Amino acid sequence: MKSLYFFFIAAILLVNPSISQAQQTGRVDYKFLGINFTIPQGWVGQEAEGAFVIGSQTIPGMILLSTHESSTLEQLKIEARQPMQDGNGTNLSITGELDQLGNNAIGGELTGTMQYQTIKGYVIGIINPHGQGVIIMSAALPAQYNDAIKQAAIKIKNSLQFRKPETGPIVQQWKSQVGGRRLTYLNSYYSSSYSAGGMSGGYSDETIIELCNSGDFYHSAKSDMTVSGYNASALSASNDQGQGKWKITVKGDGSPVLQLNFYNGEVYTYDLTFKDKYLHMNGKKYFRTALEYCQ
C-alpha cells in the first residue's frame, strides 16, 4: 500500500488543501484500468500523476486514490503493516487493528509525517478481482481531522465498481515488442586532463533487462565511476540484480507500462514509448536485442 509520489502530493495539499481548480464531480471512469467510482456530493477532484486527488471547500484535508498490486487480502494486510517511508520526511504507519470492510477491503487509522508535517488519516485498501486494486487515503492535520473526511472516503469505497480493463490490443502489441528481448541502457562519459597533474575521470551506467516469453525476467544494473590525477585516484562501483515476473499494464489514459515484480516485493515501472525508431523507457533509450535463452 505504498506510493511515494502519492504521499508527496498529499504533503503539498496538507499545506494548501484548497483544490479550487479541480473540475471533476460525480462519476469518474477509468476504462483502461476497469475502475470507476463516485466523488461524494460537495467534493471535487482532479487527476495528478499517479493519483486522483479529492478535496472539499468546507472540510479540511484531502482524499487520495491510487492503485496497488496485491491480489489477496492477506497480501494487502502484510503491506498495510509495513511503514510507509520515503527518506524525505514521510514516515507513516497504521495504528491499532485493521478494520474488515466487507469481503474485499480493509481499513486502518494512519498517523505519522508527510514531508515532516504531522498528519492523521484513514487508509482503505480494496482488492480488484480483475487487476490493480485501489488505495483510498483520507488525511488532514491532526487538529483538523474529523470523522467527516473518513466517512467521505468510505463513501468512495462503497461506490467503487470493477470490471475487466478495456486495454484493447495495446497490451498484446507491447508484449510482442519487448517479450523475448534483452533491453539494454548504456550511458557513459570520460574526460581526460590535458595538463600535468590535472584530474581526469568518468562514469558509466548500464542496465540490462531480459524479458522471457514465459513471463520471467532477469534484471541487472551497474554503475562505475573513476577519478584519477596527481597523487589521487578513486574507484566506485555498484551492482544490483534480481529476478521476478514481468507484465505490460496500462495507465488510466491507456498509455503502456512495463512492470517488473521482483520476488522480494519490489516493483519497478517503466513508461513505454517509441521515439526515432528506438524504444524509450521512462524517457531513456534502450536497445532491443533477441534473447537466445533466459537465465
pLDDT at res. 37:
94
CATH domain 4-162 topology: Protein Transport Mog1p; Chain A (3.40.1000)
* Residue 59 near residue 47, CB atoms below 8 Å: no
Sequence-separated (6 or more) residues with CB below 8 Å from residue 130: 34, 162, 163, 164, 165
Predicted model pTM: 0.66
Whether 113 shows a pLDDT value over 90: the answer reads: no
pLDDT in tens, 127-163: 999 888 899 999 899 999 989 999 999 999 999 999 9
pLDDT at res. 4:
35
Which residues of the chain form CATH 3.40.1000.10? 4-162
Q: How far is Cα of residue 14 from the mean position of the Cα atoms in its chain?
A: 20
Rg over alpha carbons for the chain, rounded to the nearest Å, is 23
Whether 212 shows a pLDDT value over 50: the answer reads: yes
pLDDT at res. 198:
54
226 falls in which pLDDT band (50, 70, 90)? low
